[in-house]
Amino acid sequence: MKPTRPFHQTPVITIDGPTASGKGTVAALVAAHLGFHLLDSGALYRLAALASVRYDVAPDAADELAKLVGDLHITFREGLAQLDGVDVSTEIRAEAVGNRASAIAVHAPVRAALVARQRAFRKEPGLVADGRDMGTVIFPDAALKVFLTASVEARAARRYKQLIQKGFSANMDDLLRDLRERDERDSMRAAAPLKPAADAKLLDTSALTIDQAVEQVVQWYRALQPRA
């Protein structure tokens, strides 16, 4: 199979999809398998959401949120997310923070403020970027674009397991409702709505194991590489 586009000097694999589709885990394992860097764009939005709570910025104050995002001191070190030098890796995974992140992500000024930060993760030997608009907005020239999805029931079950394992309380009915609301909000927003890129490969993970999903993405990427 021949590549559909010339490889960028630094290749990027984008993995987009709705909440709890498995994209974060798949992206991390694909990056580890290929020895690539990893961008968890959702963590950036969750950090912005947490900061908006800490600094008392309303989720509908688009311009104020954008300024806050531009001024944030955010670092990722050894798998940990830090805000102003403090590890908040567990705190940003709370469901309330995720819901607020989805709410502030609808604002075009907020998304614009995070574009440069996300693109700066593109470094040799390559990058795997997961999120909701990685293939459509942030890295439109990516070597491989994947859109992961799964049934809302499968995603709710995964999210429930994740939250319980991390020590958070969870209710399945609440998760189903929240996922449906977030799906609608993410897909209907005017700024970079959640949708597959026109040239993305679709991967439904409802009945797949993580290893099977990772294997498929790696196979797709390997198939795009020029033969020696």
Q: In what order do the strands lie in the sheet with 201-204?
A: 37-40, 127-131, 12-16, 144-149, 201-204
Say whether 22 counts as a known binding-site residue. yes
Q: Are 189 and 2 in contact (CB under 8 A)?
A: no
Which amino acid does the sequence have at 98?
Answer: G
Q: Report DSSP state, residue 39.
A: E
| Residue 93, C-beta contacts closer than 8 angstroms, at least 6 positions apart | 46, 162, 166, 168
The CA distance from 65 to 37, in Å, is: 28
Say whether 18 counts as a known binding-site residue. yes
C-alpha count within 13 angstroms, C-beta hemisphere, residue 125 = 6
Say whether 20 counts as a known binding-site residue. yes
**Beta bridge mates, 202:** 147
Which amino acid does the sequence have at 90?
Answer: T
Q: Which of 209, 206, 84 is CA-nearest to residue 148?
A: 206
Say whether 21 counts as a known binding-site residue. yes
The CA distance from 21 to 102, in Å, is: 15
Q: Are 30 and 128 in contact (CB under 8 A)?
A: yes
Say whether 198 counts as a known binding-site residue. no
The CA distance from 164 to 167, in Å, is: 5
Say whether 41 counts as a known binding-site residue. no
Q: Are 33 and 146 in contact (CB under 8 A)?
A: no
Residues annotated in a binding site for ATP: 17-25
Residues annotated in a binding site: 17-25
